[in-house]
């Protein structure tokens, strides 16, 4: 087979994209007409993709308006959602309608941290223990070294986890408006090179990553200690609204919540909610997020109560929402447009975006949960989710 063409001097051009598509068509026989139709300037793409050949177009719609009563996001928003799943935008819009009629969704960013977790391996557990004590005593110097590589990353603390003769150091950073994975990798490596220069007694081996930071993976440590943004969205729904908008009742919703809790326990699921991943993925694609971070971002905790007056309280907690409003894919043309619709592009906007994502997730939980209880789940997919006879 032919090699995929590259141009060392200027690889990000329409001509190079055309040449690559030509090779793929010759080798596979597949037509690439739609892949080759795009409005993006390839010159904008260094740092976002290699071997640029065209675009994968995903249908996009707006849900809303969504009313958010947050500390950073306040007001009504039209939420961009890119998906090929019928019923999704309609369902989220329905959840947004009842939330709006109930006065909106309260959102709170609880915590903010991005990690890299190197491991240090020693001759025995005592050397590992003494190393941990040394790290605690020299935190200020380690922090200064880490922050030499970044203007926006700040080292908050270093958690320590020991097993056998190993010591994992979980470096926790704030990263401004960037998601920060690459930022913290560089900063942590720089700090660890300084640590290695101090010749820790008994050290046998070092690795910058050994799966404890759980990048692009869910973990229970993220549930407890946060990765990205830890965000809560909550609402109180009057029972009469549940009956008129969602065709069910607060009692029925609450009973279903208990059954869903039990099902999640029985199955060992990482989320006791309905479908966090749907809303998060659709927003991530539309708004230029690293979509692979849905792996950790879609973990979550649903909690519900029935108030004495019959009103229904629902809260969703996303413990590891990895989002950005600056850097990465956020500056690409269509993604930047979507962030601008939300007023979330650029610096000092990431907490606002996190609150909007969490509020959107809550709306999806309300709508799908009610559809299951009211036996409208299958019929709604039949009406909106089928594109074949």
Residues identified as active-site: 85, 290, 381
Which phi and psi angles does 54 have, rounded to 5°? 155, -155
Please, what is the Cα angle at 251 between 245 and 254, to 5 degrees? 95
Q: Is 112 helix (H, G, I), strand (E, B) or coil?
A: strand
Query: What DSSP string describes 352-364?
Result: HHHHHHHHHHHHH
Q: How far is CA 304 from the centre of its chain?
A: 23
Query: Cis link prior to 65 (omega < 30° from 0)?
Result: yes
- Distance CA(203)–CA(197), nearest Å, equals 12
Using the CB atoms, write b or e for 329-341: b if 16+ within 10 Å.
bbbbebbbebbeb
- Distance CA(112)–CA(322), nearest Å, equals 10
Q: Which of left, alpha, beta for 52 (phi over 0: left; psi -120 to 50: alpha)?
A: beta
Other C-beta atoms lying within 10 Å of the C-beta of residue 383: 12
Owner of token pair 């979550």? 300
Cβ contact 53:8 at 8 Å? no
Please, what is the Cα angle at 384 between 292 and 340, to 5 degrees? 50
């Amino acid at each position: 087979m032919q090699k995929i063409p590259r141009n060392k001097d200027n690889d990000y051009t329409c001509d190079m994209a055309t040449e690559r598509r030509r090779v793929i068509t010759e080798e596979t026989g597949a037509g690439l007409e739609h892949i080759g139709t795009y409005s993006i300037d390839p010159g904008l793409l260094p740092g976002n993709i290699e071997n640029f050949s065209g675009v994968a177009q995903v249908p996009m719609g707006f849900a809303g308006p969504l009313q958010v009563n947050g500390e950073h996001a306040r007001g009504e928003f039209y939420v961009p959602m890119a998906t090929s799943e019928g019923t999704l935008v309609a369902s989220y819009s329905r959840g947004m309608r009842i939330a709006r009629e109930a006065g909106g969704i309260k959102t709170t960013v609880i915590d903010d941290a991005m990690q890299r977790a190197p491991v240090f391996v020693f001759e025995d557990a005592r050397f590992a223990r003494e190393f941990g004590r040394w790290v605690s005593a020299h935190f200020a110097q380690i922090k200064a070294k880490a922050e030499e590589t970044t203007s926006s990353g700040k080292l908050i603390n270093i958690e320590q986890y020991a097993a056998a003769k190993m010591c994992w150091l979980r470096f926790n950073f704030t990263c401004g408006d960037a998601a920060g994975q690459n930022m913290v990798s560089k900063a942590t490596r720089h700090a660890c090179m300084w640590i290695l220069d101090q010749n820790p007694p008994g050290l046998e081996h070092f690795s910058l990553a050994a799966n404890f930071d759980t990048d692009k993976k869910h973990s229970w440590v993220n549930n407890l200690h946060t990765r990205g943004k830890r965000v809560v969205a909550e609402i109180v729904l009057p029972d009469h609204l549940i009956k008129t908008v969602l065709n069910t009742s607060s009692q029925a919703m609450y009973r279903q919540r208990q059954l869903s809790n039990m099902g999640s326990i029985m199955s060992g699921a990482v989320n006791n909610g309905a479908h966090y991943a749907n809303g998060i993925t659709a927003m991530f694609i539309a708004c230029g997020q690293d979509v692979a971070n849905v792996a950790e971002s879609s973990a979550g905790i649903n909690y519900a109560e029935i108030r004495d007056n019959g009103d229904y309280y629902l809260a969703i907690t996303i413990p590891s929402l990895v989002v950005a409003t600056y850097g990465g894919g956020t500056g690409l043309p269509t993604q930047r447009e979507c962030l601008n619709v939300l007023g979330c592009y650029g610096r000092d906007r990431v907490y606002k975006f996190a609150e909007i994502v969490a509020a959107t997730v809550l709306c999806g939980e309300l709508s799908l949960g009610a559809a299951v209880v009211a036996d409208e789940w299958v019929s709604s997919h039949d009406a909106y989710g089928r594109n074949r006879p």
